[in-house]
């Protein structure tokens, strides 16, 4: 099993708390990814400034996309999806990407792990409606060498 998935699953059940990143106490979708990063690498690659729940939507700024491009490896559509891949979602067509999740399982019934407002951290089916919302896929740097 992917180390990223193993770590992310330890966060399942953590309540949703905007801007938090504390396993068992509270997190949002970015906080979950930050927590996985800390367990993989130690310190986070950059300080996270305060952010609103609209994720710079009024300004049209692709804040999450830019950060993922800085710190993770972007995958092309031709690269097969793997457990542990980071998914960046657009919640509405034409809007900025403002939700994150980690692929939990691939195959006939794919899943992803994410922190979702009103639900906390859970592993959800990566259903067709969610698949349509994927704006980009990334991998954590150390997982690239596992490809093959």
Instruction: Report the alpha-carbon distance of residue 106 to residue 143 in Å, rounded.
Output: 16
Instruction: Report the alpha-carbon distance of residue 34 to residue 27 in Å, rounded.
Output: 10
Domain count, the chain: 1
Amino acid 54: pLDDT: 63
pTM of the complete model: 0.90
Beta strand 73-75 with 86-90: parallel, antiparallel or unpaired?
unpaired
Amino acid 145: pLDDT: 41
Range of the structural domain that residue 20 is part of: 3-146
- What CATH code is carried by the domain that includes residue 142? 3.90.1720.10
Residue 131's SS3 state is helix
Amino acid 9: pLDDT: 98
Amino acid 147: pLDDT: 43
pLDDT in tens, the chain (148 residues): 799 999 999 999 999 999 999 999 999 999 999 999 999 999 999 888 777 766 555 667 788 889 999 999 999 999 999 999 999 999 888 888 989 999 999 999 999 999 999 999 999 999 999 999 999 999 999 754 444 3
């Amino acid at each position: 099993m992917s180390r990223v998935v193993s770590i992310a699953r330890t966060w399942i059940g953590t309540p949703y708390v905007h801007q938090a990143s504390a396993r068992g106490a509270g997190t949002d979708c970015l906080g979950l990814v930050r927590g996985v990063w800390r367990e993989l690498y130690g310190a986070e690659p950059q300080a996270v400034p305060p952010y609103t729940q609209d994720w710079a939507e009024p300004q049209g700024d692709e804040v999450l996309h830019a950060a993922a491009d800085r710190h993770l490896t972007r995958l092309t559509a031709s690269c097969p999806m793997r457990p542990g891949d980071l998914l960046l979602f657009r919640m509405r067509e034409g809007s900025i990407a403002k939700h994150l999740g980690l692929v939990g399982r691939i195959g006939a019934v794919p899943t992803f792990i994410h922190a979702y407002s009103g639900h906390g951290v859970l592993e959800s089916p990566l259903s067709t409606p969610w698949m349509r919302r994927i704006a980009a896929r990334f991998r954590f740097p150390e997982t690239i060498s596992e490809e093959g």
